């Protein structure tokens, strides 16, 4: 069986039917009581009362009801709205007595949709009343006088990817909805997710999609956080933010002054097996996070689940499913006395706006080659070229170059231009970010090189044991015959998975090397000139590495036909450091497990293929894993060639390293052959270097 993890939500349902399992349950009709009673959550909530509101989609129209549930009233799930319409964003007020929601009133105007939203307030029992135009995005109670304000957006319109956004954020008291105070106009604000801190000074949201940020509503400043679709803000004054990543299986969390942040991974958490999640939102209790899921099929069926977090918000202690068979969106949970709970994180921390990232490369003149995984809309250099993986090279985490099992080749025209321009200027500089894992000697692997057509190295950067070595071709005139000179740049201590910024600068016979902005070495070479440089192959990685298998990635590679100076090197390091600070290291597991089942190769075979095997966990040496049976993804084909397997025979037990599937978005569109039964298990990616290339 083949599936594509990016489309895995659809293929999981297909796989279940093909195996003779029951299809997903049909969506419960509005007003039915097909929900697990919240009374079962008494231990989770400490016996406190709770109320739940959400949008319930009605197929096939896509219209929505506002649905609510209170375990104390005995009525089960019911709808507040008499008819389905384009309702949005239900919000329970601070004492749990009423629900705020919006009717969008969308209408087609040519190829666009215009909106005339109106805000409605409806008591838990009683008719709704209109509060006027706008889209409600949050409630907030002033701790000074107890007044409750509605925060709403005006001038609603479709933004990027069709996501709704508003030009102005304002607030008003429900008793006087015509008296409105403008709160934010610095940027448009995304309408789908917005959460205030308890003190009202900060707000987490999209400013607009996909720019998640922490807004200072007092100073009218914005601290950008990351790209993401569903940022949720903790409901205390920690200003903590959780951003749903592209895999929809993990929340990346940050809080002011607590670098580098942390991750909440749901796969393997108690009460949660697998499947994506959406619509994460903190309840009024900051240790309780509500969301929809598990999204295991593209039929709209999704339930509401509640995650209980540790007091420091750094771990999921338990997940409980609140409903069954719903088509739920945008849930909001109110818990009795939740407003008196706070996390153990620092409250009301001082927040300095994060500066906007500086452009990369930091130097633009005489730039010949520049490659960055981000693939900006405007190319960073006219000569920037695509890179093609060769052998068993792959795109690694964050879409970096991973030449552990092969190499990457650039367009030959770029190599010709680099060779000619460097020869004419008698100067060359290179910048790159290197991330490695320790490997025991003996080791020799070429990381980057310009190989001339006659087989000589114009330059070649090597990792030799624990040293960085540059081989550079100097001379090429009657007075100075061309000769390759090896230079030991530095002894580089390897800290696993920590990016290192390297910059080399060569002019005539003077070579400088900077590591993370610090001058490592300066060298006076015995010859000068780059006259022998010319056309060839610019490549990253080594077709014939020696010794212990090397594992690592390359990012942000740039080359110039001039020598960069000390100030430029320091500036480049600062830009790189700001960029690297947004990354997290992979969560690695080391375990002992027994191979239970291997996948069956499909026919015909695609050029790229993952295999999904099944393993029974015997012991966990490093990391957190509670599941006793898991699926492990590993490469079986790359660039149309079979990858030699190092897996044991079925029934044998080995120790090995894994990484969560959610950490590898670069695998999202790769087809996979799965062993029967693998698709319902937590999935991990086999973390190891590949030894040989075809």
602-654: pLDDT as tens digits: 889 999 999 999 999 999 888 767 789 999 999 999 999 999 888 899 999 99
Q: Which fold has domain 31-339?
A: Neuraminidase (2.120.10)
Across the range 469-478, mean pLDDT stands at 94
pLDDT given for residue 99 in this prediction: 97
Contact 392, 525 (CB under 8 A): no
Place 485 in a pLDDT band, splitting at 50, 70 and 90: very high
- Strands of 146-191, DSSP E: 148-158, 164-173, 176-184, 189-190
Q: Could you tell me the strand order of the sheet in which 87-92 lies?
A: 87-92, 98-103, 118-123, 129-133
Across the range 110-128, mean pLDDT stands at 91
Most confident of 207-211, 408-412, 497-501: 408-412
Q: Which of 634, 631, 630 is nearest to 608 (CA)?
A: 634
For 574, residues 6+ apart whose C-beta sits below 8 A from its C-beta are 358, 517
DSSP letter at 644 equals P
pLDDT given for residue 168 in this prediction: 93
Contact 526, 423 (CB under 8 A): no
Across the range 585-602, mean pLDDT stands at 89
Q: How far apart are CA 61 and CA 600, in angstroms?
A: 41
Tally Cβ neighbours within 10 Å of residue 265.
Answer: 21
Place 355 in a pLDDT band, splitting at 50, 70 and 90: low
Q: How far apart are CA 29 and CA 33, in angstroms?
A: 9
Q: How far apart are CA 524 and CA 255, in angstroms?
A: 47
Tens digits of residue pLDDT in 530-558: 999 999 999 999 999 999 999 999 999 99
Beta strands 443-452 and 546-547 are: antiparallel
Q: Which of 61-70, 193-202, 230-239, 490-499 has the lowest mean pLDDT?
A: 490-499
Contact 3, 672 (CB under 8 A): yes
DSSP letter at 26 equals P
Q: How far apart are CA 123 and CA 127, in angstroms?
A: 7
For 446, residues 6+ apart whose C-beta sits below 8 A from its C-beta are 460, 461, 462, 541, 542, 545
Q: How far apart are CA 150 and CA 141, in angstroms?
A: 9
pLDDT given for residue 415 in this prediction: 94
DSSP string of 368-397?
EEEE-TT--SS-SSTT---EEEEET-EE-G
Q: How far apart are CA 66 and CA 75, in angstroms?
A: 15
Whats the size of the chain, residue-wise? 694
Tens digits of residue pLDDT in 223-274: 888 767 789 999 999 999 999 876 677 888 999 988 778 888 887 778 887 7
Using the predicted structure, report yes or no on whether residue 2 has a pLDDT greater than 50.
no
Q: How far apart are CA 279 and CA 316, in angstroms?
A: 17
Q: Which of 117-126, 211-220, 277-286, 486-495 has the lowest mean pLDDT?
A: 486-495
Using the predicted structure, report yes or no on whether residue 583 has a pLDDT greater than 90.
no
pLDDT given for residue 27 in this prediction: 36
Using the predicted structure, report yes or no on whether residue 366 has a pLDDT greater than 60.
yes
Task: Classify residue 232 by burial, with Cβ atoms within 10 Å: 0-12, 13-18, 19+.
Answer: buried
Residue spans of the domains in the chain: they are 31-339, 367-580, 589-686
Mean pLDDT of the chain: 86
Alpha helix segments (H runs only) across 92-239: none
> What 3-state class would DSSP assign to 643?
coil
Q: How far apart are CA 560 and CA 380, in angstroms?
A: 13
Q: How far apart are CA 184 and CA 456, in angstroms?
A: 61
Using the predicted structure, report yes or no on whether residue 14 has a pLDDT greater than 80.
no
Q: Which of 70-74, 193-197, 436-440, 597-601 has the lowest mean pLDDT?
A: 70-74
pLDDT given for residue 302 in this prediction: 85
pLDDT given for residue 690 in this prediction: 40
Task: Classify residue 570 by burial, with Cβ atoms within 10 Å: 0-12, 13-18, 19+.
Answer: middle
529's tokens:
């000139």
Across the range 485-513, mean pLDDT stands at 90
Q: How far apart are CA 633 and CA 3, in angstroms?
A: 12
Contact 613, 632 (CB under 8 A): yes
Element (H, E) at 153: strand 148-158
DSSP letter at 185 equals -
Using the predicted structure, report yes or no on whether residue 693 has a pLDDT greater than 80.
no
Q: Which of 234, 214, 194 is nearest to 91 (CA)?
A: 194
Radius of gyration of the CA atoms of the chain, in A: 28
pLDDT given for residue 39 in this prediction: 52
Using the predicted structure, report yes or no on whether residue 382 has a pLDDT greater than 50.
no
pLDDT given for residue 124 in this prediction: 92
329's tokens:
């969106």
Count how many Cα atoms sit within 13 Å of the Cα of residue 479 in the half-sphere of its side chain: 3
Place 4 in a pLDDT band, splitting at 50, 70 and 90: very low
Element (H, E) at 582: none
624's tokens:
């957190």
Q: How far apart are CA 118 and CA 87, in angstroms?
A: 10
Using the predicted structure, report yes or no on whether residue 418 has a pLDDT greater than 60.
yes
Q: How far apart are CA 52 and CA 49, in angstroms?
A: 11
Contact 289, 232 (CB under 8 A): yes
- According to the CATH classification, is domain 367-580 in 2.60.120.200? yes
Q: How far apart are CA 81 and CA 90, in angstroms?
A: 11
For 443, residues 6+ apart whose C-beta sits below 8 A from its C-beta are 463, 464, 465, 545, 546, 547, 548, 550
List C-alpha distances in Å: 2 to 11, 79, 200, 665.
Answer: 9, 41, 50, 18
Place 377 in a pLDDT band, splitting at 50, 70 and 90: very low
Q: What is the pTM of this model?
A: 0.60
Using the predicted structure, report yes or no on whether residue 15 has a pLDDT greater than 80.
no
pLDDT given for residue 290 in this prediction: 95
DSSP string of 65-111?
EEEEE-TTSS--SEESSSS-BSEEEEEE-TTSSEEEEEE--EEEETT
């Amino acid at each position: 069986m083949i599936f594509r993890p990016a489309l895995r939500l659809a293929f999981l349902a297909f796989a279940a039917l093909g195996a003779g399992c029951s299809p997903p349950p049909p969506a419960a009709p509005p007003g039915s009581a097909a929900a697990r009673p919240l009374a079962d959550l008494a231990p989770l909530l400490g016996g406190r009362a709770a109320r739940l509101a959400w949008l319930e989609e009605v197929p096939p129209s896509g219209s929505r009801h506002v649905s609510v549930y209170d375990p104390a009233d005995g009525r089960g799930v019911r709808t507040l709205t008499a008819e389905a319409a384009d309702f949005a964003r239900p919000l329970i007020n601070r004492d749990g007595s009423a629900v705020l929601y919006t009717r969008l009133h969308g209408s087609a105007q040519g190829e666009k949709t215009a909106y005339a939203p109106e805000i409605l307030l409806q008591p838990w029992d009683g008719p709704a009343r209109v509060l006027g135009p706008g889209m409600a995005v949050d409630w907030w109670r002033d701790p000074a006088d107890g007044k409750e304000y509605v925060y709403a957006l005006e001038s609603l319109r479709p933004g990027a990817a069709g996501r709704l956004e508003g030009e102005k954020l304002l607030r008003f008291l429900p008793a006087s909805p015509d008296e409105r105070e403008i709160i934010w106009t610095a940027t448009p604000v995304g309408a789908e997710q917005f959460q205030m801190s308890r003190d009202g000074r900060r707000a987490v949201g999209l400013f607009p999609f996909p720019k998640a940020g922490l807004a200072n509503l007092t100073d009218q400043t914005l601290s950008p956080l990351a790209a993401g679709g569903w940022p949720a803000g903790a409901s205390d004054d920690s200003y903590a933010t959780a951003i749903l990543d592209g895999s929809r299986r993990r929340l990346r969390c940050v809080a002011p002054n607590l670098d580098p942040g942390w991750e909440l991974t749901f796969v393997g958490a108690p009460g949660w097996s697998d499947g994506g999640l959406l619509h994460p939102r903190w309840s009024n209790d900051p240790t309780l996070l509500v969301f929809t899921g598990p999204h295991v099929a593209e039929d709209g069926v999704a339930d509401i689940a509640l995650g209980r977090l540790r007091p420091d918000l750094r771990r999921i202690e338990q997940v409980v499913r609140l409903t069954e068979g719903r088509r739920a969106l945008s849930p909001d949970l109110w818990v009795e006395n939740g407003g008196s709970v706070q996390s153990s994180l620092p409250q009301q921390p001082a927040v300095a706006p994060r500066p906007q990232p500086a452009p990369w490369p930091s130097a633009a003149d005489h730039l010949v080659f520049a490659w960055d995984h981000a693939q900006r809309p405007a190319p960073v250099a006219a000569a920037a070229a695509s890179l093609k993986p060769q052998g068993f090279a792959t795109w690694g985490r964050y879409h970096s170059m991973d030449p552990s099992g092969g190499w990457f080749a650039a367009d030959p025209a770029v190599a010709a231009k680099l060779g000619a321009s460097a020869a004419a200027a008698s100067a060359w500089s290179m910048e790159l970010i290197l991330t490695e894992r320790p490997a025991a000697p003996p080791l020799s692997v070429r990381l980057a090189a310009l190989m001339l057509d006659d087989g000589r190295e114009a330059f070649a950067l090597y990792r030799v044991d624990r040293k960085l070595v540059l081989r550079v071709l100097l001379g090429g005139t009657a007075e100075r015959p061309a000769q390759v000179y090896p230079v030991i740049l530095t002894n580089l201590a390897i800290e696993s998975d920590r990016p290192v910024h390297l910059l080399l600068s060569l002019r005539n016979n003077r070579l400088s090397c900077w590591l993370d902005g610090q001058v490592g070495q300066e060298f006076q070479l015995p010859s000068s000139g780059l006259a022998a440089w010319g056309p060839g192959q610019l490549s990253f990685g080594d077709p014939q590495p020696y010794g212990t298998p090397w594992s690592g990635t390359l990012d942000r590679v740039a080359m110039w036909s001039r020598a960069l100076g000390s100030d430029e090197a320091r500036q480049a390091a600062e830009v790189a450091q700001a960029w690297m600070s947004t990354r997290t290291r992979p969560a690695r597991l080391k375990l002992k497990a027994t191979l239970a089942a291997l996948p069956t190769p499909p026919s015909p075979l695609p050029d790229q293929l993952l295999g999904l095997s099944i393993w029974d966990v015997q012991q966990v040496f490093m990391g957190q894993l509670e599941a006793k049976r898991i699926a492990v993804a590993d490469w079986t084909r790359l660039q149309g060639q079979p990858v030699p397997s190092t897996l044991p025979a079925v029934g044998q037990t080995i120790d090995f390293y894994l990484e969560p599937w959610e950490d590898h978005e670069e695998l999202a569109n790769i087809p996979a052959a799965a062993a029967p039964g693998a698709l319902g298990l937590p999935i991990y990616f086999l973390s190891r270097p590949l030894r040989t290339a075809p």
